[in-house]
Amino acid sequence: MPTFDTPADCTPWVIGGLWPVELATVTPETAAVADYLQNDLRRIADSANERIKGLWHAGLPEDVRRAEEARIINVARAFAVLRVESTVRQLRHGSTGFNAEHLSLTADPERPPPSAVEVEPAPAITPVPSAAETERLARLLHFVARQEPGLRWAVGERADGTTILVTDLAHGWIPSGIALPKGVELPLPGRRRGRASELLGEVVASVAYQPGDPIGSRANEPPPATSIEARRLPEVEALDSKLAEATRSREGLPRLAHTLAGTAAAGTGVLDAEVDVLRVHCETARYRLLGRYPDADAALLVNCLLLAATEALATGDAVSANYHFSWFEALAT
């Protein structure tokens, strides 16, 4: 990693030298795969650039800023490497990736599912999912996996028709910044272990994703409708004052977190500039946590929960603030 100041465009450090030799010459058969890969690599680099630009306005000490820039680049580079490796696997196995044609075949018990999708009928349950239902689950999985491809995800349908979405990060907590499809349910706060597909519980069918699996493109499909209702939990009594108290002396939190938590608790106004800076701290903590995945640092996780709750409360999102703080209460003991 270079020691001089990071320029506005860190693209060469994120994706430089990663283009696979298998796509050095693009043929009609590989054109679509090459296009998907190029677009995904560009999105990874653009995301890193945006996060680095945000650091410049956060008022961080120079040494802290440079360390965060290096970390953001390293994490983005790791995601880019995974994306290229998955494409190479596709090319070597003659697969075009994650698409409706493949999904329509996963209900056939005689045919193994593609690597990006696991259909797991529960042994004790006899309803068999239709191809349309399997495709619906896969579309939801695709939507969340593209937002955070460094996590394991799973979506399943229960016998009663409810749809549950899980990740194995932090016992099932869904980080802030992830838009959730309308109509899904999330695990309740609590400690649990297992792969994402195991955290679903008893389901009729499920689809699963792990980092490196091909996601493919669904550019011709509209994204699913989103809602914060999936994060709705029983209300924490006196949430604002409890959040202000929890952030008061929490080690590793920026002072601004307690300031804004107290301001929100008092019902006074919060400046947009303060929220922008808090959001940078929130994203920085989240990417530190993701940088250690699948391992989890308990102290860093608690800080992520408090920062996410504070950001949500400061922006008037009481449902999300209550969700993140409920997870804090469940995991901080």
Instruction: Please indicate, yes or no, whether residues 48 and 141 belong to a single structural domain of this protein.
Output: no
pLDDT at 98: 36
The per-residue DSSP string of 240-273 comes to HHHHHHHHHS-TTS-HHHHHHHHHHHHT----HH
Q: Which domain holds residue 186?
A: 100-231
Q: What is the Cα–Cα distance from 171 to 158, expressed in whole angstroms?
A: 20
The band of 126, judged by pLDDT with boundaries at 50, 70 and 90, is very low
Instruction: Please indicate, yes or no, whether residues 143 and 181 belong to a single structural domain of this protein.
Output: yes
Q: What is the Cα–Cα distance from 80 to 46, expressed in whole angstroms?
A: 12
Is residue 6 assigned to a domain?
A: no
Is residue 261 assigned to a domain?
A: yes
What is the mean predicted confidence (pLDDT) over 288-294? 84
In 3D space, the residue among 147, 141, 171, 18 whose CA is nearest the CA of residue 80 turns out to be 18
Two structure tokens written together for 228: 């914060």
In 3D space, the residue among 49, 37, 116 whose CA is nearest the CA of residue 80 turns out to be 37
Two structure tokens written together for 223: 């994204």
pLDDT at 6: 47
In 3D space, the residue among 246, 251, 242, 239 whose CA is nearest the CA of residue 300 turns out to be 251
pLDDT at 129: 63
Is residue 283 assigned to a domain?
A: yes
Instruction: Please indicate, yes or no, whether residues 39 and 123 belong to a single structural domain of this protein.
Output: no
Is residue 43 assigned to a domain?
A: yes
What is the mean predicted confidence (pLDDT) over 314-332? 94
For the question of whether the overall pTM of this predicted structure is more than 0.95, the answer is no
What is the mean predicted confidence (pLDDT) over 82-100? 64
What is the percent of the chain where pLDDT is above 70?
A: 83
pLDDT at 217: 62
Count helices and strands in the chain by DSSP H and E runs: 11, 4
In 3D space, the residue among 41, 9, 13, 304 whose CA is nearest the CA of residue 175 turns out to be 304
pLDDT at 52: 82
Note the pLDDT tens digit of each residue in 193-207. Answer: 888 888 898 888 899
Is residue 2 assigned to a domain?
A: no
Instruction: Please indicate, yes or no, whether residues 217 and 315 belong to a single structural domain of this protein.
Output: no
Q: Domain total for the chain? A: 3
Instruction: Please indicate, yes or no, whether residues 129 and 227 belong to a single structural domain of this protein.
Output: yes
Q: What is the Cα–Cα distance from 322 to 88, expressed in whole angstroms?
A: 43
The domain boundary, picked from 69, 93, 117, lies at: 93
Instruction: Please indicate, yes or no, whether residues 104 and 58 belong to a single structural domain of this protein.
Output: no
End-to-end CA distance of the chain: give it in Å, rounded. 38
Q: What is the Cα–Cα distance from 102 to 113, expressed in whole angstroms?
A: 8
For residue 121, pLDDT over 70 is answered with no
For residue 133, pLDDT over 50 is answered with yes
Q: Is the dihedral of CA 96, 98, 48, 296 positive or negative?
A: negative
Q: Are 175 and 148 in contact (CB under 8 A)?
A: yes
Two structure tokens written together for 277: 């800076």
The per-residue DSSP string of 134-186 comes to HHHHHHHHHHHHHH-TTS-EEEEE-TTS-EEEEE-GGGGPPPTT---BTTEE-
What is the mean predicted confidence (pLDDT) over 301-318? 92
HSE, side-chain direction, 13 A CA sphere, residue 246: 24
The band of 276, judged by pLDDT with boundaries at 50, 70 and 90, is confident
Mean pLDDT, the chain, whole residue set: 80
Judged by DSSP in three states, 24 sits in coil
The band of 114, judged by pLDDT with boundaries at 50, 70 and 90, is very low
Instruction: Please indicate, yes or no, whether residues 144 and 170 belong to a single structural domain of this protein.
Output: yes
Is residue 46 assigned to a domain?
A: yes
What is the percent of the chain where pLDDT is above 90?
A: 28
Instruction: Please indicate, yes or no, whether residues 63 and 166 belong to a single structural domain of this protein.
Output: no
Instruction: Please indicate, yes or no, whether residues 126 and 225 belong to a single structural domain of this protein.
Output: yes
* Residue 205 Cα to chain centre, angstroms: 22
For residue 122, pLDDT over 80 is answered with no
pLDDT at 119: 34
Instruction: Please indicate, yes or no, whether residues 254 and 327 belong to a single structural domain of this protein.
Output: yes
pLDDT at 223: 85
The domain boundary, picked from 203, 231, 259, lies at: 231
Instruction: Please indicate, yes or no, whether residues 63 and 105 belong to a single structural domain of this protein.
Output: no
Number of Cβ within 10 Å of residue 218's Cβ equals: 16
What is the mean predicted confidence (pLDDT) over 70-99? 72
Is residue 158 assigned to a domain?
A: yes
For residue 155, pLDDT over 90 is answered with yes
Instruction: Please indicate, yes or no, whether residues 119 and 204 belong to a single structural domain of this protein.
Output: yes
pLDDT at 67: 79
Lowest mean pLDDT across 21-35, 223-237, 298-312: 21-35
What is the mean predicted confidence (pLDDT) over 173-179? 92
The band of 105, judged by pLDDT with boundaries at 50, 70 and 90, is very low
The domain boundary, picked from 179, 196, 231, lies at: 231
Residue with the bigger pLDDT between 318 and 276: it is 318
Is residue 139 assigned to a domain?
A: yes
